[in-house]
Amino acid sequence: MTLEEALHRYIEEVSRKKSSQGYDRDVRLARMIQDRLDASQSLEEISPLVLSRYRDLRLKEASLSTVAKDLELLKDLFRVAMTQWGLALDGNPANAVMEHGSSLGRTTGMAPGERLRLVAACDHYTNPILGLVIRIILETGLRKNEILSLKCADIDLAHRICHVPRIQLNAPRRVPLTKTAVKLFRRVLELEDRPSDTEWVFYGDPSRYGDRKPYALDRVFKKVIAKARLKRIVFDDLRTEAMMAMYAAGLTEGEVAAITGSKHTRISRKAPEYQVERLLERLDAVWPETTLPEVVVVMTEEDPGLLDIPDDHAAKTEGKRNTRRTGGAFGQPRRF
Is 289:277 a contact under the CB 8 Å cutoff? no
Alpha helices in the chain (DSSP H): 3-13, 20-36, 48-59, 64-83, 114-123, 128-140, 144-148, 179-189, 217-227, 236-249, 253-260, 276-286, 304-307, 311-317
Question: CB under 8 Å to 85, separation ≥6 — which residues?
Answer: 1, 9
Closest CA to 118 of 217, 204, 221: 221
The number of beta carbons lying within 10 Å of the beta carbon of residue 182 is: 19
Question: CB under 8 Å to 65, separation ≥6 — which residues?
Answer: 103
| CA 26 to each of CA 9, 15, 74, 78, 236: distance values in angstroms, whole numbers, following the listed order | 12, 7, 10, 14, 21
pLDDT at 191 over 80: yes
Is 147:133 a contact under the CB 8 Å cutoff? yes
300-325 average pLDDT score: 41
Does 114-231 carry CATH code 3.40.630.30? Answer: no
235-259 average pLDDT score: 89
CA 161 from chain centre, in angstroms, equals: 22
The overall average pLDDT reported for the chain is 80
Evaluated on CA atoms 147, 119, 260, 184, the torsion sign reads negative
The pLDDT of residue 62 is 81
12-35 average pLDDT score: 87
Is 228:121 a contact under the CB 8 Å cutoff? yes
DSSP letter for 328, please.
S
Q: Residue ranges per domain, the chain? A: 3-85, 114-231
pTM over 0.85: no
87-135 tens-digit pLDDT: 888 888 888 886 655 444 555 567 778 888 899 999 888 889 999 999 9
203-222 tens-digit pLDDT: 888 877 778 888 888 888 88
